[in-house]
């Protein structure tokens, strides 16, 4: 993310931000925002690639939840 890039804010659960902050020392990122932006870009890229490769298919909610859990965004 460049400093000239336009940004928008969104709220995240504190538990997610806390987990990201705990991981920062083991990464190349300087802030939670940089880390979260990177993760979201990766997830969106993969989802978009699947969509392009397979044309449009309905989203499997269970699969999305499993992916979000594996990335640490959901605790259930």
Who contacts 34 (Cβ-Cβ below 8 Å, separation ≥6)? 1
**Burial class of residue 42 in the structure, from the number of CB atoms within 10 Å of its CB (0-12 exposed, 13-18 middle, 19+ buried):** exposed
Residue 7 lies in a domain: no
Residue 44 lies in a domain: yes
Residue 4 lies in a domain: no
Element (H or E) spanning 16, and its range?
A: helix 14-23
Residue 1 lies in a domain: no
Residue 75 lies in a domain: no
d(CA 4, CA 56): 34
Residue 39 lies in a domain: yes
**Which pLDDT score is estimated for 56?**
59
pLDDT in tens, 2-57: 568 899 999 999 999 999 999 999 999 999 999 999 999 999 999 888 766 666 56
Residue 43 lies in a domain: yes
Residue 2 lies in a domain: no
The total number of structural domains that make up the chain: 1
Higher pLDDT, 76 or 48: 48
**Which pLDDT score is estimated for 3?**
62
d(CA 3, CA 72): 27
**Its pTM surpasses 0.85:** no
Structural domain range at position 20:
14-70
């Amino acid at each position: 993310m460049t400093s000239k890039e336009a940004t928008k804010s969104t709220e995240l659960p504190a538990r997610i931000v806390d987990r990201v902050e705990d991981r920062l020392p083991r990464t190349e990122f300087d802030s939670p925002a940089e880390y979260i932006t990177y993760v979201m870009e990766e997830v969106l890229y993969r989802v978009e690639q699947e969509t392009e490769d397979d044309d449009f298919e309905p989203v499997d909610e269970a699969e999305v939840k499993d992916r979000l859990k594996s990335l640490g965004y959901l605790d259930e």
